[in-house]
Amino acid sequence: MKAGANQPRAERGLPTGGTSTVAFIGLGNMGGPMAANLVAAGVQVFGHDVMPQALDTARGHGVEVVTDPLEAVAEADVVLTMLPSGQHVISAYQDSPGLLSAAKPDTIFLDCSTINISEAQQAAQLAQQAGFRAADAPVSGGVVGAEAGTLAFMVGAAGEVFEQIHPLLDIMGARVVHCGGNGLGQAAKICNNMILGVSQIAVGEAFVLGEKLGLTHQALYDVVSKASGQCWALTTNCPVPGPVPNSPANRDYRPGFAGALMAKDLNLATNALDEQGVEAQLGRLATAIYSEFAAGDGAGQDFSAIINTIRDDSSHQGAPA
Ligand code: NAD
């Protein structure tokens, strides 16, 4: 739980009204701990999930669980969704009876799921057409960040909506960036993850090449981590055991950030590349590589395990005579 979460709200500059009651829809790996941090900070949270186990865990963290999501929404200043996909979000909003049918005036619909930019804009439009306000605020930082309250939020919303939700996001995160209007939070998220996917593959390729050339992992790490090849995929998520003791490679590639989620985010990026007509060879190649990775064992492994695919694919190839 986030340090200081038990301090009184006013002392920490948190809202005492307006955004103080949250309907939290989707209490999974991310939503569960995010909701728990809100409760610990004194926010009243009504939670709903379709999985009874998620409800039980949330109840244990002080979330007021409800089996009918409309009950939660009727009480809320903010309806926060943390769901697997854009289709889940849109159908939760509008399928009869959808969340939009039960909210009170002035409610803010805040979607923190990672979804297509066009779906985020559609969700916002649905909320606005029904008379409400809307924001997309996808996150990075994974389950560890959700538990610690150190997520990074990338927010797409009108300025006044951003100001209203900022204190809530501060409870669940360590960094909150206003990226622009509706959909631009998702835009920032998928641009970041396209860089990450490409760079994790590049780091894996460099280590496999280094192995073949006779470099130790540590020597390559010591050089690159202080040179122009330095990046998060190396210095935090180092794909070989040893140089960065906390990286997933040291625990048999347990995530971390699972290959299935990287494949999902890269496919969202590719959808945006197609929609915008951007020529991005590396982004598209990374999408293909991670889609194949996630279709097999990679789905449940940390995405840095892509190095093992690169090494396996290189094992039958010797140096030219
Ligand atoms: P998850 O599958 O653990 O949780 C999603 C929850 O939504 C599940 O508990 C599911 O039962 C529930 N759900 C589905 N449909 C529902 C509905 N109609 N009403 C109520 N509940 C419903 O997924 P997660 O890892 O928590 O990820 C949630 C979102 O966050 C995804 O969009 C994901 O891409 C994004 N994300 C995940 C991570 C990560 O590391 N796990 C990191 C950043 C972003």
For 1, the token pair is 């739980």
Confidence label for 8 from pLDDT (cuts 50, 70 and 90): very low
Instruction: State yes or no: pLDDT of 227 exceeds 70.
Output: yes
Confidence label for 319 from pLDDT (cuts 50, 70 and 90): low
Distance CA 278, CA 270 (A): 9
Active site residues: 189
The mean predicted confidence, pLDDT, of the chain is 93
- The residue to mutate among 25, 27, 29, having the most atoms of ligand 1 within 8 angstroms of its beta carbon, is 29
Q: Is 173 in the pocket of ligand 1 (CB under 6 A)?
A: no
What is the architecture, at CATH level 2, of domain 188-315? Orthogonal Bundle (1.10)
Confidence label for 41 from pLDDT (cuts 50, 70 and 90): very high
Closest CA to 114 of 41, 26, 54: 26
If you measure from the C-alpha of residue 142 to the centroid of ligand 1, how many angstroms do you get, rounded to a whole number?
11
Topology given in CATH for the domain delimited by 21-181: Rossmann fold (3.40.50)
Average pLDDT value for residue range 3-26: 61
Write the CB contacts of 132 (distance below 8 Å, at least 6 apart in sequence): 100, 103, 105, 106, 107, 108, 109
Closest C-alpha residue for ligand 1 atom 12: 26
Question: Where are the domains positioned within the chain?
Answer: 21-181, 188-315
Confidence label for 2 from pLDDT (cuts 50, 70 and 90): low
Output the pLDDT for position 20. Answer: 84
Q: Which residue bears the tokens 């500059």?
A: 13
User: Strand locations in 130-233, DSSP E?
Assistant: 133-136, 139-140, 151-156, 173-180
Tell me, what DSSP letter sits at residue 103?
A: P
Closest CA to 217 of 196, 247, 248, 238: 238
Render pLDDT for 50-65 as a digit per residue (tens, 0 to 9): 999 999 999 999 999 9
Closest CA to 263 of 161, 168, 190, 178: 190
Q: Is 113 in the pocket of ligand 1 (CB under 6 A)?
A: yes
Average pLDDT value for residue range 157-178: 98
Q: Is 83 in the pocket of ligand 1 (CB under 6 A)?
A: yes
